[in-house]
Amino acid sequence: MAHANPIQIQKYLRGVDYPANKRTLLAAARAQGADENICASLEQLPDEEFQTPAELSQAFSGPSADDAGGDAAKPR
C-alpha cells in the first residue's frame, strides 16, 4: 500500500491543535473521514509529539540534509 502524501494527510487534520501526538492525529483524521490509506500512513509515524504541521510533513519525507548532520549529507 502506498503512503498518502503529506498534503493529502493535512486535509484531514484541519483544526488540530499542535503540538499533537500520533494518537491525536489519528483520531482527528478518522473524525474527518480519512480513508484507510491516510490512517495507515499516520500509523507509521514515530511515537513523538509534532510541534507544527510542517514538522509532521517532514516526518513523512524523512530527515533533511540539515538533520543528517556532517558532510555525509552534502553533495560532493
- Grid coordinates belonging to 33: 473521514
Could you tell me the pTM of the whole model? 0.76
9: CB partners within 8 A, 6+ apart: 29, 34, 38, 41, 42, 56, 57, 60
Q: Is residue 50 part of a domain?
A: yes
How many C-alpha atoms does 38 have within 13 Å on its Cβ side? 19
Q: Is residue 66 part of a domain?
A: no
Q: Say what the pLDDT of residue 63 is.
A: 63
* 29: containing domain: 6-61
Residue 48 pLDDT > 90? yes
Q: Is residue 13 part of a domain?
A: yes
Contact 60, 73 (CB under 8 A): no
Q: Is residue 34 part of a domain?
A: yes
Q: Say what the pLDDT of residue 61 is.
A: 77
Distance CA 30, CA 38 (A): 9
- Grid coordinates belonging to 24: 491525536
